[in-house]
Amino acid sequence: MSQVTSTDLYEVTMVLSYLREDMRAPATFSLFVRDLPPGRGFLVAAGLEPALDYLSRFLVGRSDVREFAEALRRPVEDVEPLHGLSFDGQVRAVPEGRLVLAGEPLLEVTAPLPQAQLVETYLLSLVCHQTAVASKAARCVLAAAGRPLVDFSLRRNHGPEAGMQAARLCALVGFAGTSNVAAATRYGIPASGTMAHSYIETFASEEDAFRAFARTHPGPVTFLVDTYDTDRGVATAARVLSDLGRGPGCGIRLDSGDLGALARRARTALDAAGLRDVQIIASGGLDEYAVAALVRDGAPIDVFAVGTKVGTAADAPYLDAAYKLVEYDGRPVMKLSSAKVTAPAPKQVFRGPGLRDVIGLANEEPPEDTEPLLRTVMRGGLRTDPPDTLASARARFEADVAALPEEARRIESPMPPVPVVSTRLSALTTVVRHRIEARTRAGR
């Protein structure tokens, strides 16, 4: 199935009308998050790279026209004006890895109206899902306080492609590895994995299982020790590792129970066996709240493997995001409906120290000691630069997090910075609002 037809039907109905009315003037749409989800002090911009890939390949082909016609229950000839429509517009966007706040555009699309409209649904789907997951993963990094994290989310994600995205996004914010082999290969992320409880259960004893696993894997190994009795599993793992002369690089994994208490007892047993270099890895329903609690309590856990709750952004699985028209044919426009008012015109976000942001007009001068966040990443339907790298995105993330106020970094009850609106944007909003209200009162 073509990505072109992965759209809402009303995008197609509107575009057909635009084409019939010859409404092809440039339009600017702004994609932004109205409010941060509860429990979030920031968001991590993500999804831009696949969004640019999508736009650069966007082309309505014959098969797409037939699918649109079938969905509309109309003759193919009625939908023929869509054939050959491609994207040759401009995109200004916040690079991946930068932190963003409520009301700030993550990207703005300027293109002939039919093009800019038809790509709405796909862009929202890409950017919103990936920003939500990256933001959840980033909070895990903060909670871990420097301890490595591994993405274990593939089996619980909402489909394999979502699993690929989650692995990439976790790496973007600093995870050390992923269990997802395809993602590890595609994105150059270290692959990480141990064994399942089913492996242990197929052998007559845990010791038989551990020794068999070690025979197949002569390098460092990690044993899953909680299939039956965790303390006995740790003792068995210690005995096997000692007998085989394995130590540095090896580990045991705890996957259930009171992870803090179990980790303390496991550390004591391993150290007593002379296996101080054997790491303790914890998994099993972890998220930033659980990780923060374990770190705060001083649990001797070396690596956290997180999956379900991070890959699905479980406590905030969606963003209250919008893709709204802000200018058409040089005329600034805005929406006035209750609780969903938008600001007119193309915009820029000017970032000051400590994420003191100003949302202003795209063509206004930056306030002193600020930098513009949105940059031109596509012009004429072509990328302005080579594809970005995970390393570059991670560096941007780390720099922004370092500048983030402490109250916004908190895992519990964070307080996000609140951007202010520039004087010029505020004045234009008032003018456009009055113009629309006057026209409405006049019945036009």
Give percent of the chain above pLDDT 70.
100
pLDDT digits (tens, 9 = 90+) for 35-90: 999 999 999 999 999 999 999 999 999 999 999 999 999 999 999 999 999 999 99
- pLDDT grade for 441, boundaries at 50, 70 and 90: confident
Whether domain 193-311 has CATH 3.20.20.70: the reply is: yes
- pLDDT grade for 287, boundaries at 50, 70 and 90: very high
pLDDT digits (tens, 9 = 90+) for 113-143: 999 999 999 999 999 999 999 999 999 999 9
Q: What is the pLDDT of residue 162?
A: 92
Q: What is the pLDDT of residue 246?
A: 87
Q: What is the pLDDT of residue 216?
A: 95
In this model, does residue 178 exceed pLDDT 90? yes
- Within 13 Å and on the Cβ side, how many CA atoms surround 35? 7
Q: Averaged over 276-296, what is the pLDDT?
A: 97
| Spatial CB neighbours of 63, under 8 Å, sequence gap ≥ 6 | 2
Architecture of domain 3-133+316-441: Alpha-Beta Barrel (3.20)
CA–CA dist 174, 151 (Å, integer): 11
In this model, does residue 440 exceed pLDDT 80? no
DSSP 82-105: GTT-B---EEEEPPTT-EE-TT-E
How far from each other are the two terminal CA atoms of the chain, in whole angstroms? 42
CA–CA dist 177, 167 (Å, integer): 8
pTM: 0.94
Q: What is the pLDDT of residue 293?
A: 98
Q: Averaged over 350-361, what is the pLDDT?
A: 96
Contact 416, 36 (CB under 8 A): yes
Q: Averaged over 390-400, what is the pLDDT?
A: 97
| Spatial CB neighbours of 334, under 8 Å, sequence gap ≥ 6 | 326, 341, 342, 343, 344, 429, 432, 433, 436
Q: What is the pLDDT of residue 214?
A: 95
Q: Which residue has the tokens 């054997």?
A: 278
Q: Averaged over 190-197, what is the pLDDT?
A: 93
- pLDDT grade for 444, boundaries at 50, 70 and 90: low
Q: Averaged over 341-353, what is the pLDDT?
A: 95
Q: Averaged over 287-312, what is the pLDDT?
A: 96
- pLDDT grade for 337, boundaries at 50, 70 and 90: confident
- pLDDT grade for 1, boundaries at 50, 70 and 90: low
- Neighbouring C-beta atoms of residue 99, cutoff 10 Å: 27
Contact 261, 231 (CB under 8 A): no
Q: Domains of the chain: which residue ranges?
A: 3-133+316-441, 193-311
Task: Write down the mean pLDDT value for the chain.
Answer: 95
Let me know how long the chain is.
Answer: 444
Contact 19, 114 (CB under 8 A): yes
79-88, 337-346, 379-388: segment of lowest average pLDDT: 337-346
Q: What is the pLDDT of residue 77?
A: 96
CA 92, 96, 98, 102 torsion-angle sign:
positive
CA–CA dist 105, 224 (Å, integer): 45
